[in-house]
């Protein structure tokens, strides 16, 4: 069962890099750090160097870099494997609970688990391959183990979740704190609440400590200011903008909103506030994003909705907190929540053109991957003869140490480039075409069997074996 999302999301990442074109500052950066970052998680040349710890405090990446170096995989292939494992963890958590606590037969348990692995929020996150699904998957495994009183497994998954991102502790604290409040309101004694309280306090203090270490030890990118507050704070945000965003969320983010409505109705009918506690826990996250300076965060696009994956899973935990041996009747409501999460998939933010479900099955061949990598190495060797070279995001994502930010298509170019290396129909192809036209480049090459294209004002005799004859325009 876990092999299905593992394989599907691994294929999606490979297609993202080798066919459609990856984002150099997101998936490209993460793939590089996982493969080459070392103990300090050094970032690539195109990212400006420095440590990834300044962007996100992710100590879990350190052992992963060692694992990558021990495996016969490229950086992109390892990132694809990593992404597949991250996507499989939520399915495993759901399957474990359904099988062991709800006594659901294996086939329907597997069906619901697979539906969860491909729910609308996870698909939204997949449009921009990142690493937040490790936080979610490990957190879900912790919750599944915790509610079954498997505290050794719970502690391992708890630590893995916290080590994934500096704010993971806030996510777990929000869930556990709301559960504790509901428990007290329903007369649950302190002794029974003690494990909940211990994990909640540890989670909160971990994230506070991680943020302090990040601030004191690394020249940090101020994520709070850059993404959420803006400079000066809230300078570009108006009441009209907030109203427009709220209307957008209610209209175009139904894969988030509808499951929340269903959980609320379900919890009220069952007289079990634990069921919708997950959504209550992340109201602050929703408000923070609603007020964010970044329009991507402000519309809960791609992976910014990841805490609500916890909320979608939480009813399975909530029913067990109310009743140690719940019946299976409530699972129909859970299935309805999953079904509602598939609403509005066509409206998801999708700048990279990741087409689903094709991107889950159309794996680029090893020949295509090797041909693309070989061509980029050849371009790097031939760079002195290419004049002033500019690359698009997809090329920089695959070859991040041979370009700096001044050589990216999206960077204002003080002088026209002599050569532009890009992906056919890649992210930002309109900007690439405009730059090529403005520079007056009239010779166009392609690397057969790949998405790589070159526009230049000179013959590329040094790498002619890779390229067919140029077409002048």
Number of Cβ within 10 Å of residue 231's Cβ equals 10
Number of Cβ within 10 Å of residue 174's Cβ equals 24
Report the pLDDT averaged over residues 410-422: 91
Q: In what order do the strands lie in the sheet with 471-472?
A: 389-391, 419-423, 452-456, 443-446, 471-472
**Between these two residues, 397 and 187, which has the higher pLDDT value?**
397
| CA proximity to 234, closest of 304, 305, 167, 294 | 294
- The pLDDT, as a whole number, for residue 462 is 61
Question: Helix (H, G, I), strand (E, B), or coil: what is residue 284?
Answer: helix
Residue 470 has pLDDT above 50, yes or no: no
Length of the chain: 473
Alpha-carbon span 385 to 7, nearest angstrom = 41
* Predicted confidence band of residue 59 (pLDDT cuts 50, 70, 90): very high
Chain-wide mean pLDDT for the chain?
A: 91
| CA proximity to 215, closest of 166, 168, 159 | 166
- The pLDDT, as a whole number, for residue 383 is 85
| CA proximity to 125, closest of 25, 13, 14 | 13
* Predicted confidence band of residue 7 (pLDDT cuts 50, 70, 90): very high
Is residue 422 within 8 Å of 458, Cβ to Cβ?
no
Going from the C-alpha of 265 to that of each of 261, 272, 312, 333, 361, the distances in angstroms are 6, 10, 14, 10, 37
Report the pLDDT averaged over residues 348-355: 91
| Distance from chain centroid for Cα 185 | 36
Residue 73 has pLDDT above 80, yes or no: yes
pLDDT in tens, 301-315: 999 999 999 999 999
- The pLDDT, as a whole number, for residue 473 is 41
Which residues touch 37 (CB under 8 Å, ≥6 apart)? 43, 52, 61, 62, 65
Report the pLDDT averaged over residues 390-416: 92
**Between these two residues, 191 and 373, which has the higher pLDDT value?**
373
Burial of 243 (0-12, 13-18, 19+ CB in 10 A): exposed
Number of Cβ within 10 Å of residue 238's Cβ equals 9
389-391 and 471-472 as β-strands: parallel, antiparallel, unpaired? unpaired
Rounded percentage of the chain residues whose pLDDT exceeds 70: 93
Is residue 40 within 8 Å of 53, Cβ to Cβ?
yes
* Predicted confidence band of residue 472 (pLDDT cuts 50, 70, 90): very low
- Please state the domain extents for the chain: 3-360, 366-472
Q: How many CA atoms lie less than 13 Å away from 140 in the CB half-sphere?
A: 32
Q: How many CA atoms lie less than 13 Å away from 201 in the CB half-sphere?
A: 6
pLDDT in tens, 117-169: 999 999 999 999 999 999 999 999 999 999 999 999 999 999 999 999 999 99
Number of Cβ within 10 Å of residue 217's Cβ equals 12
Phi-psi region of 428 (alpha: psi -120 to 50; beta: other; left: phi over 0): left
Helix H or strand E segment including 456: strand 452-456
- Among 197-206, 323-332, 442-451, the range scoring the smallest mean pLDDT is 323-332
Question: In angstroms, what is the C-alpha Rg of the chain?
Answer: 24
Residue 196 has pLDDT above 50, yes or no: yes
Report the pLDDT averaged over residues 399-408: 93
DSSP calls for 182-205: HHHHTT--HHHHHHHHHHHHHHHH
- The pLDDT, as a whole number, for residue 471 is 47
Look up residue 436 and give its DSSP letter. H
pLDDT in tens, 11-54: 999 999 999 999 998 999 999 999 999 999 999 999 888 999 98
Alpha-carbon span 408 to 128, nearest angstrom = 19
Report the pLDDT averaged over residues 339-350: 92
């Amino acid at each position: 069962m876990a092999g299905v999302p593992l394989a599907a999301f691994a294929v999606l990442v490979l297609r993202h890099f080798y066919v459609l074109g990856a984002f150099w500052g997101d998936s490209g950066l993460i793939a590089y750090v996982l493969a080459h970052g070392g103990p300090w998680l050094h970032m690539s040349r195109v990212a400006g160097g420095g440590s990834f710890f300044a962007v996100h405090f992710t100590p879990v990446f350190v052992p992963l870099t060692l694992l990558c170096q021990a495996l016969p995989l490229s950086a992109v292939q390892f990132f694809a494997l990593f992404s597949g494992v991250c996507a499989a963890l939520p399915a495993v958590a759901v399957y474990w609970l359904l099988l062991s606590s709800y006594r659901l037969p294996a086939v329907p348990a597997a069906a619901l688990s697979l539906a969860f692995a491909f729910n609308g929020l996870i698909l939204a996150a997949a449009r921009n391959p990142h690493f937040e699904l490790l936080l979610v998957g490990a957190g879900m495994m912790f919750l599944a183990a915790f509610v079954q009183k498997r505290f050794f497994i719970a502690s391992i998954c708890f630590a893995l979740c916290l080590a994934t991102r500096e704010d993971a502790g806030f996510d777990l604290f929000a869930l556990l704190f709301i559960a504790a409040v509901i428990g007290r309101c329903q007369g649950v004694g302190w002794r029974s609440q003690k494990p909940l309280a211990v994990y909640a306090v540890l989670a909160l203090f971990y994230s506070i400590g991680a943020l302090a270490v990040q601030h004191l030890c690394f020249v940090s990118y101020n994520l709070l200011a850059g993404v959420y507050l803006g400079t000066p704070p809230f300078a570009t945000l108006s009441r009209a903008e907030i109203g427009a965003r709220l209307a957008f969320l209610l209209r175009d983010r139904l894969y988030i909103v509808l499951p929340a409505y269903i959980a609320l109705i379900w919890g009220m009918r069952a007289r079990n506030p634990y069921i919708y506690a997950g959504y209550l826990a992340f109201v602050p996250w929703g408000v923070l994003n609603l007020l964010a300076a970044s329009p991507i965060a402000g519309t809960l696009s791609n992976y910014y909705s990841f805490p609500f994956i916890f909320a979608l899973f939480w009813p399975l935990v909530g029913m067990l907190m109310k009743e140690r041996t719940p019946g299976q009747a409530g699972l129909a409501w859970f299935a309805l929540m999953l079904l509602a999460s598939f609403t509005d998939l066509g409206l998801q933010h999708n700048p990279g053109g990741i087409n689903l479900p094709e991107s889950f099955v159309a794996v680029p061949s090893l020949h295509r991957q090797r041909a693309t990598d070989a061509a980029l190495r050849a371009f790097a060797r031939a760079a002195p003869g290419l004049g002033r070279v500019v690359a698009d995001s997809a090329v920089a994502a695959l070859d991040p140490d041979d370009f700096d930010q001044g050589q990216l298509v999206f960077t204002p170019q003080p002088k026209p480039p002599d050569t532009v290396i890009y992906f056919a129909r890649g992210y930002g192809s309109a900007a690439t075409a405009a730059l090529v036209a403005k520079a007056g480049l009239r010779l166009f090459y392609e690397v057969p069997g790949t998405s790589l294209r070159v526009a230049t004002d000179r013959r590329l005799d040094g790498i002619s074996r890779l390229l067919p004859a140029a077409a002048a325009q």
